[in-house]
Chain A
Amino acid sequence: MGEVIVVTSGKGGVGKTTTSANIGTGLASNGHKVVLVDTDIGLRNLDVVLGLENRIVYDLVDVTSGNCRLKQALIKDKRFPNLFLLPAAQTKDKTAVNPEQMKALAEELKTEFDYAIIDCPAGIEQGFRNAIAGADRAVVVCTPEVSAVRDADRIIGLLEAAELRNPKLIINRLRPDMVKRGDMMDISDILDILAIELIGVVPEDESIVVSTNRGEPAVMDMGSKAGEAYRRITKRIEGEDIPLMNLDVPVGIMDRLKRLIGIG
């Protein structure tokens, strides 16, 4: 029996889809049978992030409304024989699916896959309620910004109200240089406020833009820092106890000078 994990955030643009794609790809490359489900009906993007946009025939709404069988809608990733995508519908809206249908779908996916990763749309309306309906676990993505942390707090409250206990936090797009200057909230600041368990920290990394341009998740790129962060998150999802990666920035000459004269 597999597990359904929803990736959510409240605020848009913090990296839910990128995170979903990387976690899914990471789990698949570790040998698990994985399905990624895009529930952002009307604004689908997981397909392009994965580079599978040209192969869509049927979508999530076709499955839930009975237009096709689940197997017909699943797109197989050619790079990983055990990675599949269930794309969102692009021409319909969030009301085309309801939470009961999502629950039934989640049950079906659990019999076929080790992991189903649900990419949740932004917001707290029906799209969110659909995405969390069948989930066993939740991952909350948040960037070190006031707006993102505030929305994450709201989402954590809503997840708990929906009986999805102990959501795990991913801090995305952290900039160690700004943290060092005191111009960005650090990991402990955010954990202090949100009071949930951390499952990973992903540094801001240009390679994410490049990998999204190509449709190849950064987790496959051994030279990418963000990719390394996602590989660690993947292992933690599998239950391994992996330390956070070292995000320290190299000490600059000014810092050394300050330390030398005893003011740093």
Chain B
Amino acid sequence: MLEFISRMLGRESASSKTVAKERLRLVLVHDRASISPAMLNKLREDLVKVISNYMEIDEAALEFNLCQDDREVALVANIPVVKMKRDYATKELAE
């Protein structure tokens, strides 16, 4: 109801402070970890390359993010495995 009236009065539906807070949250995750989006992307590519040596993964569904909790930052990756590579064991034997 209030949102409706606000919209009637021509105001934006989301208050700008919520936008500010959300943007700050995201930018600080990177600031605190001293990692640029470009570097994060490179890390992601490298990780995919290494994991792909051992198993087939669903790259499209891969989630890869820096998560923030209070003043701590964690790297959280959710990597769906399609199948294990059978030739991994034989490769290791051959070497």
Give me the interface of A with B, judged by CB distance under 8 Å: 145-146, 149-150, 153-154, 157, 179, 181-186, 189, 192-193, 195, 258, 263-264
Q: What is the 8 Å Cβ interface bit string for chain B, positions 26-53, against chain A (1 contact, 0 not)?
A: 0110011000000000000000000000
Say whether A149 contacts B15, CB under 8 Å: no
A23 CB, min distance to chain B CBs, angstroms: 26
* Known contacts A150-B27, A193-B25: A185-B1 contact under CB 8 Å: no
10 A-B Cβ contacts within 8 A? A146-B23, A153-B28, A182-B15, A182-B16, A183-B17, A184-B17, A185-B17, A193-B25, A195-B71, A263-B2
Q: Which residues of B contact A157 (CB under 8 A)?
A: 32
Say whether A146 contacts B5, CB under 8 Å: no
Complex partner residue of A263 from B1, B21, B23, B27, CB under 8 angstroms: B1
A195–B70 CA distance with the chains assembled, in angstroms: 7
Number of A-B contacts (CB under 8 A): 43
A153–B12 CA distance with the chains assembled, in angstroms: 29
10 smallest CB-CB distances across A and B, nearest first, come from A182-B15, A183-B16, A185-B17, A263-B2, A146-B20, A263-B1, A189-B21, A182-B17, A146-B24, A153-B28
Residue of A nearest to B68 (CB): A193
Q: What is the 8 Å Cβ interface bit string for chain B, positions 5-17, against chain A (1 contact, 0 not)?
A: 1000000000111
A184–B20 CA distance with the chains assembled, in angstroms: 8
Q: Which residues of B contact A183 (CB under 8 A)?
A: 15-17
* Known contacts A146-B23, A195-B71, A263-B2: A153-B31 contact under CB 8 Å: yes
B63 CB, min distance to chain A CBs, angstroms: 24
A185–B70 CA distance with the chains assembled, in angstroms: 18
Residue of A nearest to B1 (CB): A263
A249 CB, min distance to chain B CBs, angstroms: 16
B17 CB, min distance to chain A CBs, angstroms: 5
A157–B1 CA distance with the chains assembled, in angstroms: 43
Q: Is B18 an interface residue (CB 8 A)?
A: yes
Interface centre among B1, B17, B25, B71 (most CB of A within 10 A): B17
Q: Which residues of A contact B28 (CB under 8 A)?
A: 150, 153, 193
A122–B31 CA distance with the chains assembled, in angstroms: 18
Q: Which residues of B contact A195 (CB under 8 A)?
A: 70-71
A189–B20 CA distance with the chains assembled, in angstroms: 10
Complex partner residue of B21 from A153, A185, A264, CB under 8 angstroms: A185
Q: Which residues of A contact B31 (CB under 8 A)?
A: 150, 153-154
A181–B12 CA distance with the chains assembled, in angstroms: 11
